[in-house]
C-alpha cells in the first residue's frame, strides 16, 4: 500500500458497512473503500496536498546584545544552526551576522511555527556552545526575535542583506537596523520596551 509520500507501508482497507458481495451475474453493489493509514503515518498522509513556500528572515541577538559570537566559533555555530534547521523545522538558506546578532533566511516546513523554530534554534544552539566551547558560560540568546516574511521574488535580496552584514554595520548599529526592519514590515512596537 502506498501513501502520499510514496512509501510502502502497512495499512488497513476498510469496506463501508452494508456493502454486499457480487450478486450472481448482476452488477456489484457499490463498494465504498477507504484506506486507514497506520498510526504515525497520518501526518504524512494528510500533508500530501499541502504546498507552501514559507520564507522567513529571522533576526535575533545575543543576551543584552553583548558580542558573544566570537570569530573562533562563528562558522561552526552557523553550521550547527543549519543542521538544527534541517533536522527540526526546515532549511536555512543563509545564516550570517555580527558578534552580537544573527540573521537567517529560513524555508520553514508548513507544520512548524516561527516561534517553535526559534525556541529550538536558541535552546539547542546555546547548549551546544556551552558544551563544545568551554569558557563560554555567559553565552545566551536574547528572549525575543524578529521574524519577517519574504516573498520568493525577495529571496536574493534577503540573502544579499545577510551576506553584507559586516559592511552594513560600519554605518548602522544593530538597534537601528532592527527598528528599520520593524518599520519596513509595518510591525508595531513600543520604543520604550523594544529592548527589554
Residue 116 has pLDDT above 50, yes or no: yes
- Residues 94/142, Cβ–Cβ less than 8 Å: no
For residue 48, the model assigns a pLDDT of 65
Instruction: Give the pLDDT mean for 18-30.
Output: 45
pLDDT number for residue 162: 97
Residue 73 has pLDDT above 60, yes or no: yes
Judge if 156 and 84 occupy the same domain.
yes
Examine the pLDDT at 34 and tell me if it is beyond 80: no
Q: What is the pLDDT of residue 68?
A: 95
Q: Are residues 110 and 91 in the same domain?
A: yes
Residue 47's CB is within 10 A of a number of other CB atoms, namely 15
Whether 88 and 165 map to the same domain: the answer is yes
One domain for residues 151 and 62: yes
Question: Does the pLDDT at position 30 exceed 50?
Answer: no
pTM: 0.74
Does the pLDDT of residue 44 top 70, yes or no? no
**Can you give the pLDDT at residue 18?**
44
pLDDT at 50: 86
> Is a pLDDT exceeding 60 seen at residue 43?
no
- Using CA atoms of 142, 147, 153, 156 in order, give the dihedral in degrees to the nearest 10: 0
- Per residue in 104-114, pLDDT (tens digit) is 999 999 999 99
Q: Identify the pLDDT of residue 41.
A: 40
Q: Is there a single domain that holds both residue 27 and residue 73? A: no
**Least-confidence region, from 40-44, 95-99, 127-131, 163-167:** 40-44
Task: Identify whether residues 168 and 153 lie together within a single domain.
Answer: yes
72 in the same domain as 106: yes
Computed over its alpha carbons, how large is the radius of gyration of the chain?
A: 24
Per-residue pLDDT reduced to its tens digit, 128-138: 999 999 888 89
Nearest CA-CA partner of 92 in 51, 121, 115 = 121
Q: How far apart are CA 105 and CA 8, in angstroms?
A: 34
Give the pLDDT score at 193: 87
CA dihedral angle for residue 85, residue 86, residue 91, residue 92, rounded to 10 degrees: 50
- What is the number of structural domains in the chain? 2
Is 11's pLDDT higher than 50?
no
CA 59, CA 174: separation in Å to the nearest integer?
Answer: 10
Give yes or no: residues 94 and 67 share one domain.
yes
Maximal CA-CA distance, the chain: 87
**Residue ranges with strand state E in 18-100:** 33-36, 54-61, 90-98
User: In the 8-state DSSP scheme, what is residue 12?
Assistant: E
Amino acid at each position: 500500500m502506498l501513501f502520499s509520500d510514496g512509501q510502502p507501508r502497512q495499512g488497513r482497507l476498510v469496506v463501508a458497512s452494508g456493502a454486499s458481495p457480487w450478486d450472481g451475474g448482476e452488477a456489484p453493489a457499490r463498494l465504498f473503500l477507504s484506506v486507514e493509514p497506520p498510526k504515525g503515518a497520518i501526518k504524512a498522509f494528510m500533508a500530501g496536498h499541502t504546498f507552501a513556500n514559507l520564507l522567513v528572515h529571522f533576526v535575533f541577538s545575543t543576551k543584552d546584545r553583548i558580542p558573544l559570537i566570537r570569530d573562533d566559533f562563528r562558522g561552526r555555530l552557523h553550521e550547527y544552526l543549519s543542521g538544527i534547521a534541517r533536522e527540526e523545522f526546515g532549511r536555512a538558506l543563509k545564516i550570517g551576522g555580527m558578534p552580537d546578532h544573527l540573521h537567517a533566511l529560513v524555508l520553514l516546513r508548513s507544520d512548524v511555527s516561527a516561534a517553535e523554530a526559534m525556541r529550538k534554534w536558541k535552546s539547542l544552539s546555546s547548549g551546544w556552545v556551552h558544551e563544545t566551547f568551554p569558557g563560554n558560560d555567559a553565552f545566551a540568546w536574547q528572549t525575543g526575535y524578529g521574524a519577517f516574511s519574504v516573498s520568493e521574488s525577495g529571496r536574493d535580496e534577503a540573502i544579499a542583506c545577510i551576506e553584507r552584514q559586516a559592511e552594513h554595520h560600519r554605518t548602522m548599529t544593530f538597534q537601528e537596523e532592527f527598528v528599520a526592519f520593524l518599520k519596513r514590515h509595518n510591525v508595531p512596537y513600543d520604543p520604550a520596551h523594544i529592548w527589554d
